[in-house]
Amino acid sequence: MERRLNVVVVEDEPIILRYVAKKLEEQDPDLHVALAVDDPQAALAHMLAQPPDILFTDIEMPGMSGLDLIRQVRGHYPLLPVVILSGYSNFAYAQAALRYGVFDYLLKPVESADLKAALERTRAVIMEQRGLEAIRTQRLAESQAEQQPLMDRREQSGITGQIEQYMATHFNQPLTIADIAAHFSYSPTYVNRLFKRQYGVSPIQYQITLRIDKAKALLREFPKASIKDIAAAVGYDDARYFSRVFRLSEGLSPSEYAEQNHTAARPNGG
């Protein structure tokens, strides 16, 4: 299975651009920075011609913002892992990043350990995806009813990995088990059984865990944000319902959690 990763880095501060590109290639010998550029338009043109495996991008840039770049890229590559690099500990940016299904959100100055961790998480998801595709190409075209009983554990793991990635990207959207199953062309019963066997919980229970984890991260980073905004960012229209779900999960209200766990603000970059 191909392990090479092609990465695009977009950052309008030359020092940070060089630093991130250099650190990425140092941390993974199979990673190639295909493009490191300060121009989002040039990055978009490159990606449309040569799809990357990962996109690292700043938010605030002249001409086209990082969020505009992500929105356009998402139209062509819905599952492309995107990692944001931002010098602004700004809730509105983080909220927009979640809406576009951003894989990770790193504050500048970017710590080498944070960059490495984001890269490792992203690579794991991509390798699962590639493994599944490799297995699928080896199998004869069969109907779903004939194929499902023949799946070995590795293929089942690959399928659940893809479902998990899809849910991680769309966790704040109103997904149902029927939506998830339809996206992967399997029956809801099969998806539910397969996912529960792998993760110990149903996809919908897992979605709640994803939402609460994202909410906790936002509450730590933006303790003064309104609970209504936090709830909306993670997919809950009803702030009261979100608060009840949060308390059941964590034993604290969102406000209490924010007060006890907020992180010190980092210095701003570009």
Longest dimension (CA), the chain: 57
Residue 85 and residue 9: Cα distance in Å, rounded? Answer: 10
Coil, helix or strand for 106? strand
| pLDDT computed for residue 141 by the predictor | 41
> Omega before 109 cis (within 30°)?
yes
| pLDDT computed for residue 134 by the predictor | 62
| pLDDT computed for residue 142 by the predictor | 42
Residue 189 and residue 73: Cα distance in Å, rounded? Answer: 33
| pLDDT computed for residue 237 by the predictor | 85
Residue 192 and residue 197: Cα distance in Å, rounded? Answer: 9
Residues 80, 55: contact at Cβ < 8 Å? yes
Beta bridge partners of 31: 5
Share of the chain above pLDDT 90, in %: 29
194 band by pLDDT with thresholds 50, 70 and 90: confident
pTM above 0.95, yes or no: no
Residue scoring higher pLDDT (122 or 1): 122
Residue range 32-73, pLDDT digits in tens: 999 999 999 999 999 988 999 999 999 888 888 898 999 888
Residue scoring higher pLDDT (211 or 150): 211
| pLDDT computed for residue 212 by the predictor | 93
Q: What stretch of H or E contains 187?
A: none
Residues 203, 167: contact at Cβ < 8 Å? yes
| pLDDT computed for residue 146 by the predictor | 45
Stretch 11-16: mean pLDDT, rounded?
94
Stretch 233-240: mean pLDDT, rounded?
89
Residue 42 and residue 38: Cα distance in Å, rounded? Answer: 8
DSSP 148: G
Residues 113, 72: contact at Cβ < 8 Å? no
| pLDDT computed for residue 132 by the predictor | 60
Among 65-69, 95-99, 148-152, 195-199, name the one with the lowest average pLDDT: 148-152
In the Cβ-directed half-sphere of 155, how many Cα atoms lie within 13 Å? 13
92 band by pLDDT with thresholds 50, 70 and 90: confident
User: Which of 96-110, 142-156, 226-240 is predicted most confidently?
Assistant: 226-240
Residues 69, 75: contact at Cβ < 8 Å? no
Q: How far is CA 56 from the centre of its chain?
A: 12
Secondary-structure percent of the chain, ordered helix, strand, coil, rounded to 5: 60, 10, 30
Q: Is the pLDDT of residue 139 over 70?
A: no
DSSP 267: P
C-alpha angle 87-89-95 in degrees, rounded to nearest 5: 115
Coil, helix or strand for 190? helix
